[in-house]
Amino acid sequence: MLLQTPRLLLRPWAQGDLELLLRLAGDPGAMRHIPNALPRGDASAAAVKLESLRAHWTAHGFGLWVVTERNTGAFIGRAGLQYLPGAEPPEIEVGYILLETAWGRGYATELAQASLWFAFERLNADHVVALALAANEGSTRVMLKAGMTREGTGVWYGTEMVRHAIARQDWTPPAMKPEILES
């Protein structure tokens, strides 16, 4: 499934995307606030992660996307939706990791809004959650801009994190709706 926003193109991970995942894992800025981040330069760990990203798509029909700029085709990171590991009942989590060179352009907000649109319009989700380390003020701002509300803290991914969430009835669709190019 290909999805495009005004400035970005999102596509599922493909078998040949190991180098993209390694590039993202090798960016110290991008990984600074990511618990259990892939070890820098560890191709075998990246291959396992790549397979899990692809398996989520196969099993559920949604997942995290490869994100590129539409005007240049440049890879800038990953974003999208996944089931929050260990959540009972199951919860959909929105997430984004961008190369540091892509920061400060509003891409994370654009991606969060597109992901929420996909969750509510295509997956018919009732609510979506997002998690961030307390020190990750940039991600917190993105969650708030996307209409999410802080719910508190807890332990996810083996570390204490801040949880934000939004329910379908509290969500406002973005003015520029994403476009599905292929499904």
CATH number, domain containing residue 89:
3.40.630.30
pLDDT digits (tens, 9 = 90+) for 125-139: 999 999 999 999 999
Provide the residue range defining the domain that includes 92.
2-182
Of the chain, the end-to-end C-alpha distance in Å amounts to 4
How far apart are alpha carbons 20 and 151 in whole angstroms? 33
CB of 38 closer than 8 Å to CB of 51 = no
Amino acid at 77: G
**Number of helices followed by number of strands (H, E) in the chain:** 5, 9
CA distance to 5, 58, 78, 146, 167, per residue, from 175 (Å): 11, 30, 22, 12, 18
Number of domains in the chain: 1
Question: Is the torsion defined by CA of 60, 53, 117, 163 positive or negative?
Answer: positive
Per-residue model confidence (pLDDT) at position 148 = 98
Per-residue model confidence (pLDDT) at position 35 = 83
pTM: 0.95
Percentages helix, strand, coil for the chain (3-state, rounded to 5) are 35, 30, 35
Residue in the block written with tokens 């961030």: 132
Rounded to 5°, the CA angle 97-28-81 comes to: 15
Per-residue model confidence (pLDDT) at position 103 = 96
Rounded to 5°, the CA angle 92-108-83 comes to: 15
Average pLDDT across each block of 10 residues of the chain; the chain has 183 residues. List them in order.
Answer: 95 96 94 83 92 96 97 98 93 97 96 97 97 95 97 95 97 92 74
